[in-house]
Structure 1
Amino acid sequence: MDGLLPDTYVSAGSLVHMEAVSGGLPTAADEDSPLPISASALTPAGLAGLLAEHAYVYKVKTRKTDGGNPEMYEDEVTPPRDILSSVLAGKTWPGVPPLRGIIGAPVLRRDGTLLQQPGYDPQTGLYLAAKVTLPPVPDQPTPEQVRDARTFLLGQFLRDFPWASAADRANYVALLATPILRHFTRSLTPFALIDATMPSSGKTILTAGPGMLYGQRVMTWAYSDEELRKSITAVLAEQVGVVIWDNLAEGTVIDSPVLAQLVTSGVWSDRQLGASRNVATVNDRLWMATGNNLQVGGDMASRTVRVHLDPDMPRPELRDQAGFGIPHLDQWITDPANQLTVLWHLLVLVLDWTRQGAPRVSGLSMRQFTPWAHPRRVPRPPRHRRVPHQRRRHPRDRRRRNALARVPHLLARPPRQPADDRRRPTPRRRTHADRQRHPRPVGRAVHHHPQRPPTQPAATRAVAHRASRAVARRTRRPGRQERPGRPVRVLGRTPPGVKPAEPSPHLRNAAPTPPHQRKHPAEIRT
């Protein structure tokens, strides 16, 4: 059958035929978005239709001519159903190309090249059924193209989402590029959890990003493990790249052992519904869930990548979108032309990463998902001697850098840390020489917010403490070299013939006297 029936392949020992799916309409961000081409198992009726369209099937018969002599002739027929069923019952199909799966967007091959030609790819066994007609992406993008792609994705497409931190945005970009890099990294994909503190924060729009590009199936969360297993087995039979459980109940704890088994298995095996046999399917989907204030427990805590949104306002839906990079993004992403724009810029960044040799980051472990977690090394500045006033790196900076390293592109340099999030430098340990040179003052220090004035009791204690330090500095200790003709006050004792000075009644409310204007207690006139 090699070349006889076009678009016919073998999958798991059975013949399948690729055919276009009619009736597709533009969908919303929270609706199913199937691929335009589907692989259907060949049945006797389907095989008969293909033979009638692409082959000439005949039966040799004998008839008599006008002269009474026998004559052989060909009579076109349709093979009987029993014969077609016996043909399809076989498991060995020499010469028929194998079909590994259907993808909705270009992917990176294991050798680092991009599969971007629609149709069947003999090198990977994948069939590219692109949802949009994508122009060719250059194998070596120019610096201008890379800069424009980074500006569009980070400065326009993802700019106005209320990310809780830079790591949340990095996790989402990594999830957005996961279907492209799955075959190149040869790794499992963790479970994606997108949650927010308030409704209408943009969770569904974020899931529509990969869903519209690779095909999505939106399902309702099953709160029992048995129903969850059935829904997983059923959706794996469909041709989609992203599976989304949308709008879980607020506060739901995701700790299902069935889901934990799913994300750590390369092949999902379960009993087929309505039959007494098991089916095995390659687990090549991106599994996502959305909700408000979701939690993870059990084994799912270490098998989940979280993207957290915090709008920090009671009514996020009332935000004015006139100043957004892309107003009304939920409607914008449903346009195939806009999906093409997002996908093209994303592929440019991926190919720029491979052009640099696909550098990997080391020292980051995420159990079974370690190959997925560190496909990209964030360039570090050259080593240099630390200046004394330069702040030290905090462990939180290292955690952020590791989170940003999951992004397989975009991050040629880490983003600048917000000023409000910077920590003060860690003080150096005091040595014996420091204690001798600068002794710690005896008293109670006042700590308050740097941008908020202290309360009245705190201000009073501060003034009193400064006044007591001023008096202590004016007190001299015995044993020092004295100036000629200058009386000495020794530990609170008044020199002979000198009247003790009384403290000023407004000392508590007065600022400390500068050192060059201070007078000895013996010189104060009463």
Structure 2
Amino acid sequence: MINDQARNRTDEDVALLDYYDAEDIKMVRLDDAKKPVDPEWQIRRLALKQHKEWVMQGGNVGLQCGEVSGWFSGTDLDWAESRAMAPKFLPATLLGAKGQEAPSQYFYRSEGLGYAKFTGLDNSEIISVKASNNGAGHQIVVAPSVHQVKGPYRFVGGYNPAAIASVDKDELRHRVGMLAVASLIARHLPDLGRHNLAMALAGYMLRNGESEAAVLLMLVAAWEYRGAPREGLRDLENLVRDTAAKLRRNERATGGRALEELVPGMPAKIARFLGWEKADLNDGIPKIQVNNRHLRDLTADALKALEGANNPPEVFVRAGSLVRVREDEHGTPQIQPMELNHVRGRLARVADFVKVSKQGDKFVETKVSPPELVVKDVMALSSWPFPALEAVVESPILRPNGSVCAAPGYDPETRLFYRPLPGFECPEIPAEPSQRQIRAAMDLINEAVGEFPYADKASAANTLALVLTSLIRQAIDGPTPLGLVDAPQAGTGKTLLAEIVAVVGTGRAGEMLGASRDDEEWRKAITAKLVGGSTLVIVDNVEGRLHAPSLARALTSRTWTDRVLGRSEVATVKQRATWAATGNNISLGGDLARRCYWIRLDAKQSRPWQRKGFKHPDLTAWAREKRGELVAAVLTLARAWYAAGRPKGEGVPRLGSFEAWSETIGGILAFAGVSGFLDNLEELYDKADESSSEWEGFLEEWWRQRGDDPITGKALTKLITEEKSLKDALPSDLSEALDKGEGSFTRRLGKALAKRAGTRFGDKGWHVSEAGEERRAKLWQVQDSSGECEFVSFVSSYNPSASKKSCDSDTESGGQNTKNRSEGAETNSQNSQTHTETTMHEERF
């Protein structure tokens, strides 16, 4: 059916036929489906008048390509990728287009050029070269024809036959092939794993004779089409050059085999597009003979093959074992210990194992799988030539020197593997951010976390500290404390705040850890998280008291050592995680208080979950959408501080055991103009000190009952049950234990006293201490510390006469008199460590 646009032909449209005829280009009458309507159209030539009448009736017209039209040809670009990238590959010439889309037709004169069709992995047409060198013919639709969907055909800038370029057929064929290759790569370029694909592509095409410049042109065009940042393009250029240099040195480089594994079918397509007679799929894979050889030699060859193929690194060493990075079913990257089958599979991909046998006068190779004995021997080695892996991160890496690693893959400087989520793009982070850029970064971060109901300025500043920590944790040389997010009631936004921190830091919901009441369960859970490489752990919905010695130990540890669950081995891994906990009115037990910083939320409403008027009602979805910009904003603040020389933040509290963290985070916040960081520490300590008050009251009541008379645990249990005032003064955890029975309570009481022996409580310094034994049972007594405290210094145990006697002995035995070496301690020094006239009680805090 002829459409309305085709019926409305003008004299100008018809005049185009005169130009075609003048150029001796043969025309073909076409129907709406772009099919020739005349029988034997390839050999018959109609009069110009017949074509004009056809066009005026609304018919379409095509131009026959090949020798019959003076070697006129048309290159028809079907894929959007090929249309977008064509100017990078095809010579400038007369262009045609359909409707308002980008030019899709490139017209040339190329003597001897034949027809060619380039199809994708799904057999859809990428490009077709409409030409003929065999006496047949192919036609290409041109103006004034009308495409049924896209609209009228047109010449870009009008029809100008002088603009039609003459190009050598071999050159044009190769350029079109390169464009088809770039289009195919661009369509199948993944969001993750581009580095591996680039190495395989470069190795494959370079090994098969493509020039370094041609390979770089194809890869860069595909990467640019998919929006690769400048850093990614620079890395791509370096990769192509490095691969070319390896091949010149006859070193191993990945190629066709690796490419076939990554994108099945692509090597064959590339070979056809680029006109290779026979494609070399060799990746430089070594061949290892397995029979009639010593195990040590087989193992050495296998290890060499693994090492040679480990660029970029895929096999790592962690906690004394071989590991690899894998993804679970949710796309979350994990560090997985490599077991026998993992190593065997890897060996099968990096080397060809063969058994050689003699058959007659010939030696025949039989392909075999890597022998299990060799695999076990490789795994049993005391060391391996593979890089160490400490963690997998999902955001650009801020190194300790302040530089940013934004290239996915392994970073040897930090021993981290950067594995971003598919589709994640981070804007370029300025090396020296301006005040305007810092302000813009703060505004965007405030949009993400600024509408939570913070109880005070310190809580708001500490929230920014938690966000910063999640992204720059790997640049901090030392442990980091736990961000404690609590509120007076449910629905205030604690979990949402933790989720936003996780989305910014990792791109996904945080790894939630349940708060167990059993420290053994805590230990197992922490081990599982750290061995798996978790970098952000959130303890969610803590109910009541948070008391976990294993968690306290993990927070101040640089490394974590524990037995791996389900395996008879002990693992030691770096502790590089960021920690947070959420709950309502959390009370802290044990040593956790001094290992936390506080984020207090308080909406001051009975139903805080009903609050309205937020700028982003679905804050999590907004944060996911803006994650790249949020990450760049946080790292901009960090870069600004590093660029300024890492100035110290004035008045930043010093947090013991976390000095590097408080100095780094406090410095960044102060430089960005954020005040209040850690200003609520005293309130947190006071809140966490409730158990100390209970013990102070209990020991004071004990003193009233017994004074400093020693007593056994069993006798003290009996006294507690008999004296109501002492029972009422029991700390809450011991009171609960007493309700379960006196037998278990006595053991629990003994452990509690031993744990707190020497710990001072209250202004009087009440404390419990051991006072000997009675019938093999420990005696305990209560004392106060109201008297003067005495401290023992190292010098207090120093005996100057010992060295003097030694000197006198040397002199008497004929040695040189060395009296001046030691005349006793200094008597006029003001140094309390060497002044013998300083009394012990004067050495105080």
TM-score tier after normalising by the smaller chain length: 0.5 to 0.7
Residue in 2 that maps onto 1:23? 329
Displacement, 1:3? 2.7
Assess if the C-alpha contact under 8 Å between 1:372 and 1:406 holds in 2: no
Tell me the residue number matched to 1:13.
Answer: 320
Q: Give, in whole Å, the separation in 1 of the partners of 2:319 and 2:430.
A: 35
State the secondary structure of the residue aligned to 1:246: strand
Instruction: Tell me the residue number matched to 2:654.
Output: 365
Which residue pairs with 1:103 in the alignment?
393
Q: 1 or 2 for the larger relative contact order (CA 8 Å, sep ≥6)?
A: 1
Do the aligned residues in 1 keep the contact of 2:461 with 2:675 (CA within 8 Å)?
no
Output the CA distance in 2 between the equivalents of 1:88 and 1:413.
51
CA drift of 1:414 comes to: 4.4
Match of 2:639 among 331, 334, 351: 351
Say how many residue pairs are matched: 363
Deviations 1:389-424 (A, max 9, x none): xxxxxxxxxxxxxxxx46546732649xxxxxxxxx
Structure 2 counterpart of 1:284, from 571, 576, 597:
576
Q: Does the aligned pair in 2 maintain the 1:104–1:241 contact within 8 Å?
A: no
Question: Aligned pair in 2 of structure 1 residues 206, 76: CA closer, same or farther (>3 Å)?
Answer: same
Question: 1:441 is matched with which residue?
Answer: none
Selected match of 1:146 from 438, 448, 451: 438
Distance of 1:406 and 1:318 partners within structure 2 = 37
Find the aligned partners of 1:208 and 1:407 in 2 and give their Cα distance.
23
- Alignment map for 1:40-189 (pairs within 5 Å): 40-64=336-360, 70-94=361-385, 96-131=386-421, 132-154=424-446, 156-189=447-480
Deviation at 1:301, TM superposition (A): 1.6
* Aligned residue identity for 2:471: I
Tell whether the 8 Å contact from 1:172 to 1:307 is kept in structure 2 after alignment: yes
Matched, 1:374 2:685: no
Secondary structure, aligned partner of 2:439? helix
> How far apart are 1:319 and its partner, in Å?
1.4
Alpha-carbon shift at residue 367 of structure 1 (Å)? 0.8
Aligned to 2:551: 259
**What secondary structure, in the 3-state scheme, does the structure 2 residue paired with 1:298 have?**
coil
Shift of 1:293: 1.1
Change in Cα spacing, 1:358 to 1:330, as seen in structure 2 (3 Å) is same
| 2:537 alignment partner, one of 234, 240, 243 | 243
Give the whole-Å Cα distance in 1 for the aligned partners of 2:536 and 2:354. Answer: 46
Q: What displacement does 1:279 show? A: 2.2
What is the one-letter code of the residue matched to 2:658?
F
Equivalent in the alignment of 1:204: 495
Q: Secondary structure at 2:392's aligned position in 1?
A: strand
Give 1:8's aligned amino acid.
V
Give, as a single letter, the amino acid of the residue that structure 2 aligns with 1:234: A
1:331 Cα offset (Å): 3.7
Which residue of the partner structure matches residue 308 of structure 2? 3
SS state at 1:168 partner: helix
Aligned counterparts, 1:121-520, within 5 A: 121-131=411-421, 132-154=424-446, 156-212=447-503, 213-214=505-506, 216-249=510-543, 252-321=544-613, 324-333=614-623, 335=624, 337-361=625-649, 364-375=653-664, 405=666, 408=669, 411-412=672-673, 414=675
The alpha carbon displacement at 1:230 in A equals 1.7
3-state SS of paired residue (1:375):
helix
1:4 corresponds to which letter in structure 2?
A
* Deviation sequence 1:219-269 (CA, Å, 0-9, x none): 2210121221121112222232111121122xx122332222121111112
SS in 1 for 2:475: helix
**Contact 2:526/2:551 (<8 A) preserved:** no
The amino acid of 1:230's aligned partner reads: K
Q: Distance in 2 between matches of 1:81 and 1:144?
A: 62
- Residue 144 of structure 1 aligns with an amino acid whose one-letter code is R
Residue 275 of structure 1: how far off its partner (Å): 4.1
Query: 1:38 is matched with which residue?
Result: 334
Aligned-residue sequence identity (percent) comes to 31
Deviations 1:337-394 (A, max 9, x none): 3222221211111111211112123663211112211226xxxxxxxxxxxxxxxxxx
Are residues 44 and 278 of structure 1, via their aligned partners in 2, closer, same or farther at CA, if it must alter by over 3 Å?
closer
CA 1:327–1:189: 2 relative to 1, 3 Å: same
Shift of 1:187: 2.0
The CA distance in 2 between the partners of 1:208 and 1:62, in whole Å, is: 66
Measure the CA separation in 2 of the matches of 1:329 and 1:274.
Answer: 40
Shift of 1:171: 0.7
Structure 1 position 148, deviation (Å): 1.1
6-15 or 170-179, larger mean C-alpha shift: 6-15
Q: Which has the greater radius of gyration?
A: 2
Three-state SS of the structure 1 residue aligned to 2:531 is coil
1:141–1:288 distance in 2 versus 1, CA, 3 Å:
same
Is the 8 Å Cα contact of residues 319 and 571 (structure 2) preserved in structure 1? no
User: Once the 2 structures are TM-superposed, how far is the Cα of residue 332 of structure 1 from its aligned partner?
Assistant: 2.9
- Cα gap change, 1:54 to 1:278, in 2 (>3 Å): closer
- Rate the CA distance shift 1:414–1:195 in 2: closer, same or farther, 3 A: closer
Query: Does structure 2 retain, via aligned residues, the 8 Å contact 1:197–1:310?
Result: yes
Contact 1:141–1:351 (CA under 8 A) maintained in structure 2: yes
Q: Secondary structure at the match of 1:305?
A: strand
Cα separation, 1, equivalents of 2:342 and 2:348: 10
Distance 2:471 2:627 in 1: 15
The one-letter amino acid of 1:123's match is E
The answer to whether the 8 A contact 1:173-1:407 is kept is: no
| RMSD of equivalent CA atoms | 2.3
Change in 2 beyond 3 A, CA 1:331/1:259: same
Matched letter for residue 185 of structure 1: I
Contact 2:641–2:667 (CA under 8 A) maintained in structure 1: no
Query: Is this contact kept in 2: 1:59–1:74, CA < 8 A?
Result: yes
Q: In 2 relative to 1, CA 256–97 (structure 1 residues): closer, same or farther, beyond 3 Å? A: closer
Specify the alignment match of 1:514 in structure 2.
Answer: none
For each residue in 1:41-69, what CA deviation from the matched residue of structure 2 results, as whole angstroms up to 9, or x when unmatched? 222322232233333222222222xxxxx
**Aligned residue identity for 2:428:** P
Q: Partner of 2:103 in structure 1?
A: none
SS at match of 1:368: coil
Deviations 1:311-348 (A, max 9, x none): 01111121123xx2322213433x3x322222121111
Deviation, 1:143, is 3.4
